[in-house]
A = this chain, B = another copy of it.
Amino acid sequence: MRIVIIGSGAAGATAAQFARKTNRTAEIVLVSREPYGEYSRCGLPYVLSGVIDRFDSLIEYSPEWFRRFGVELRLSTEVTSIHPSRRTVTTASLLTSEEELMDYDSLVLATGARASIPPIPGASRPDGGLEDRVYTLRTMDDARAIAGALDRASSCMVIGAGLIGMELSEALCSRSGDSTLLSCMVDVQSHVLPAMIDADIADLVERVIAAQGIRFLPGTSVFKIESGDRCHVYCRSSYTGEEFSYSVDMVIVSTGTSPDTALGQSAGCAVGHSGGIVIDNRCRTSVEGVYAAGDCTEYDDFITRQPVPIGLGSIAVRHGRVAGINAAGGDECLAHGLLNSRTTRLFGLEVAATGPTCVELQKSGIEPIVGKVTGSTLPEYFPGGKSITAKLLAHPKDGRILGAQVVGEEGAHQRANLLAAAILNLTTAEQFLQLETCYAPPVAPTLDCVTLAAEAVRTKWKRTTRSEAQSDA
């Protein structure tokens, strides 16, 4: 049996490992356009910041590691076409252009995503590359290019205040020791991390970045970039209509990604509404023998049941695992939808979320009950406790927990994990209150802020159902 995996990112590399664990004798070939083994994309901002000493440190699975694990790794190699009826792929070396026809029993597409550059005049060149002084961060080569440019730059602008844009902004501040290198960060949306948290929680993050001296312009779109000796970035405020420009040495565009589905589509794999390859709960595409995992795919949101593109490493490894096991003849299932549990740490603040935001729920026609509590990580009387805020979103009908956002100096992501388990288990706020959490004065309070937030939800929910019962009567 031969399993061919296309892409050596988190999904592809994990698929290879679990295919090997599932089937000790199968031949496993991992094909990658890039010249590296598996490396952490999410770690790239931290090399730019200097927290991680060099790019090579991000390589989690080296070519040598794959060799020892019995996986044939073909680097700098492109799959140029897939022939599902004959179960073959054609590969071409990016170094020698040499072509090869390879047959497969199972094929795993883990082609990932590309940085999505908005159609701003002056951002991209006609050939698809970026204009001078314009950068984006997706691959290690992207990051090396940014690092080289930063060495010569004294001013930089970041377009997009999502996860990567925010982490890049922090990296620029760490690199220069202050906020002078980062001229400003703009986003078309009204607050930072719009896909992750609601405005009220983002406000806590914005206070911290403001305290760092970072200039963040919400509701601001870029309508033109002119590159020359410097880079002129023309902006428009959606609030005031005002137009203005920044003159900087370089611009980094961090406005999200789009699934890389070209190869999958050429093989006949169906692509869904959100633009990703459609998979079932065993990572099977619409083409027999072809699996897909990671950022090139889409999958239903657990709550809204709408397909959303995969965009998180944590999901890529989980889906890669399932794709690898099934491609190798095992039988493993994905969860019944995506929670998009997500976290980051910015200027000492840990931000985490799971499930849809309030805004996303409202778009799906659900007006959630909100319970928000700011507490401490330790009992009030114990020194060293840190402030922590939890926001819970619950269904107005049954009080079921649908989403959560947590912010604090520490422990936010662990609380989001606990709430992710609650969401996945269809737990109501009332049931959540029954859960025994650990307590000891130097470790945690008897009732954590997430429990208190559930109590707030329950109180509101009881009040609503009571008043509805009264108005029915």
Contacts and interface: CB of A to CB of B under 8 A. Distances in A.
A412 to B, nearest CB: 8
Contacts of A433: 318, 321
A415 B415 CA distance: 9
Contact of A52 (B51, B344, B383): B383
Nearest to A167: B440
Contact of A414 (B341, B343, B415): B415
Contact of A438 (B58, B342, B379): B342
A270 to B, nearest CB: 24
Contacts of A176: none
6 contacts: A43-B381, A318-B433, A340-B436, A343-B439, A417-B438, A421-B435
Contacts of A42: 439-441
Contacts of A10: 446
A25 B382 CA distance: 34
B435 A46 contact: no
Contacts of A422: 421
A414 to B, nearest CB: 3
Interface string A342-357: 1111000010101000
B43 A379 contact: yes
A427 B46 CA distance: 36
Nearest to A312: B439
Interface stretch (A107-115, A124-132, A331-339): A331-339
Contacts of A436: 312, 314-315, 318, 335, 338-341, 354, 420
State the majority secondary structure of interface residues on A.
Answer: mixed
A414 B411 contact: yes
Contact of A317 (B313, B345, B350, B446): B446
Interface in A276-328: 312-318, 321
Contacts of A441: 40, 42-43, 46
A341 to B, nearest CB: 4
A102 interface: no
Interface in A55-75: 57-58, 60
Nearest to A446: B317
A413 interface: yes
A425 interface: yes
A417 B414 CA distance: 9
A204 interface: no
B413 A60 contact: no
A444 interface: yes
A409 to B, nearest CB: 12
Given A313-B446, A422-B421, A435-B421, A440 B344 contact: yes
Interface string A423-453: 0110100100111111111111011100000
A418 interface: yes
A380 interface: yes
B439 A52 contact: no
